[in-house]
Amino acid sequence: MHELRPWLRLIFRHRGGLVLGATLILATLLCGIALLAVSGWFLTETAVVGLALAAGLQATINLYVPGGAIRFFAVARTVFRYLERVYNHNLVLQLLTDIRVALFDRLAGAGHRHRGEKSGAQWLSRLTADVDALDTLYLRLIAPTALAGAITLLIAGLAWLLFSGTVALVVLVILLAGLLVATLAVLRGTRRLSSRLSDQQEALRGEVIEHIEGYAELTAAGRINEHAGHLLAEAGSLSRAQACIDARVGWHNALSTLLVNLSAVVALWLGFSLFEDGAISGPVLALLPIALLGLGEVYGMLPEAFGKYGATEAAAARLNQDGGSRGAPVASPTGAERHEAAAGQPLTLTNASIGHPGHPPLLAGFSLTLAPGKTLGVIGESGTGKSSFADTLAGVVPLLAGELTVPPCAYLTQGTVVFEDTVKANLLLGNPSATDTELWRVLDMLELADRFTREPDGLNNWLGSGGNRLSGGEARRLVLARVLLSRAPLVILDEPFTGVDAETRQRIAPRVQRHLEGRTLVCLGHAPEALLATERTLHLD
Ligand SMILES: Nc1ncnc2c1ncn2[C@@H]1O[C@H](COP(=O)(O)OP(=O)(O)OP(=O)(O)O)[C@@H](O)[C@H]1O
């Protein structure tokens, strides 16, 4: 319950909607039960009257009132069911939206390092399977359990009104036992298994994605069959665990149905003596047991949902753990200050420590002022901290100590990130208001325009997953184009020409240089030739 609490709070923000949705479900269920009860009463009444007439006795029956009631309940049940489905599906989608937005919010605040600790497969699982698991909370757990309880009490009340207090009490005890079996007993029998299964399924999903991603390497190493066999064995063991949970849910479902049916039989049995005493009529005797049989529909929804409770809880626990605490890690440690500067203000670092939280700083006591429009090169061997320096300026990694004032920046990271979309969509991320002419101009500057004019779709050319339809050098120039489209006053370029051959680089570098004239530039690389020309150079050692 503790793991579910933050998500329940989110769900209960829609209190009014939840009550209305549950009322519609209640109306549907009550119409179903009333339909059965009135039909049972009516059939018995017609049978009794028929027998009386056959025996030559005088008897009459009102066909219109019960017939009308049956039609009313049948139509009302359909209408309520339709409204309930439309309303509740919409509500659940709203709840899922809230949960996803809250999760994105937390992830965005959780810091670069924290996000990097999980693989893409794990994040995918969080945002899909785990979030979906939470949608069972309202529609399958909370609403049906509350309604089953309410309807049980209503039927016990009906038994008390039509039959007697004793019948009501006996029926109530049997039904409560059935309710316990369908909820808490299932929960007890499956919670741990279901939670463990959910964790294992999540691990398997990640392994399957890694298997596909590493297909070439596994094949080259001759280990593909062995690895696939391992995944299949794991999938087999998960299926067995699922079958075990299903069996337990099935048994509990059967027992709970048996108890509901038993309550109907007992009501009939006890009702007989009331009938013999003339306290109730024959048709009323049939009404209560048949209404009790209608409860099967309500109770039948519960065992499966409670069988998944462990998985829902495990999903919530993973989301709680991985969402991190909102906003915390991205903030700089105490004593470090990061300020956003307006365009036209210098970039300044004062007594700054740069590095990764929990590790010794890569740079300490470092100060620098870079006036607007000035350029700085940063050179150093692999691992000296160039990318960490750039990440800190861009706010991706927190400043460890000191003070940093930085104008808005466009950042070309060391990794080349091309989104699975068109050329245009990838470029517009740099400047959403750029025109097609501007896009072609920057592509032309980087000698990429020909690459896309050759294709029939031009700027709408689809780049494939991670830009896999581009060569390494083309992808690098495309992401450079994205950064060059931005009008940010500070531009940070980490190894801008990785994968671009020397001749092309020599042709395009002066054009990039001209394009960036007047803007503040920080360019990082292993050697001077990997950089654009800069006025000052910082050597990291
Ligand atoms: N998230 C992280 N957590 C802890 N240490 C890190 C993290 N990222 C990088 N480092 C460490 O910080 C040091 C500097 O890394 P960085 O990537 O900044 O170097 P670099 O100069 O850009 O190297 P390269 O030229 O190889 O890209 C390295 O020792 C690296 O292992």
Smallest CA separation from ligand 1 atom 24, residue? 382
Does residue 359 line the site of ligand 1, with CB under 6 A? yes
The predicted structure's pLDDT at residue 128? 84
For the beta carbon of residue 336, count every other beta carbon within 10 angstroms.
18
Does the structure show a pLDDT above 50 at 127?
yes
Host domain of residue 215:
5-323
CATH number of the domain encompassing residue 103:
1.20.1560.10
Residue 346 DSSP label: P
Say if CB 393 and CB 347 are below 8 A apart.
Answer: yes
Measured between alpha carbons, how far is 391 from 169 in angstroms, rounded to an integer? 70
Does the structure show a pLDDT above 50 at 330?
no
Task: Evaluate whether residue 10 is within a structural domain.
Answer: yes
Task: Evaluate whether residue 86 is within a structural domain.
Answer: yes
Closest listed residue to residue 14, CA positions, set 85, 77, 74, 99: 99
Task: Evaluate whether residue 478 is within a structural domain.
Answer: no
Task: Evaluate whether residue 238 is within a structural domain.
Answer: yes
Does the structure show a pLDDT above 80 at 253?
yes
Task: Evaluate whether residue 375 is within a structural domain.
Answer: no
Give the residue, out of 359, 387, 389, 396, with the most ligand 1 atoms within 8 A of its beta carbon, to mutate for a pocket test: 387
Does the structure show a pLDDT above 70 at 111?
no
Does residue 198 line the site of ligand 1, with CB under 6 A? no
Does the structure show a pLDDT above 90 at 241?
yes
The predicted structure's pLDDT at residue 117? 73
Task: Evaluate whether residue 526 is within a structural domain.
Answer: no
The predicted structure's pLDDT at residue 329? 38
Task: Evaluate whether residue 313 is within a structural domain.
Answer: yes
Does residue 413 line the site of ligand 1, with CB under 6 A? no
Average pLDDT over residues 74-96: 94
Q: Which residue has the higher pLDDT, 61 or 331?
A: 61
Does residue 441 line the site of ligand 1, with CB under 6 A? no
Measured between alpha carbons, how far is 29 from 301 in angstroms, rounded to an integer? 12
Strands 409-412 and 490-494: parallel
For the beta carbon of residue 322, count every other beta carbon within 10 angstroms.
20
375 in helix, strand or coil?
A: strand
Does the structure show a pLDDT above 60 at 313?
yes
The predicted structure's pLDDT at residue 377? 95
Average pLDDT over residues 98-107: 82
Does the structure show a pLDDT above 80 at 331?
no
Average pLDDT over residues 132-152: 87
Task: Evaluate whether residue 344 is within a structural domain.
Answer: no
Share of the chain above pLDDT 70, in %: 96
Q: Which of 235-239, 356-360, 504-508 is predicted least confidently?
A: 356-360
Domain count within the chain: 1
Does the structure show a pLDDT above 80 at 275?
yes
Does the structure show a pLDDT above 50 at 325?
no
pLDDT tens for residues 421-449? 999 999 999 999 999 999 999 999 999 99
- What count of Cα atoms within 13 Å lies in the side-chain half-sphere of residue 281? 12
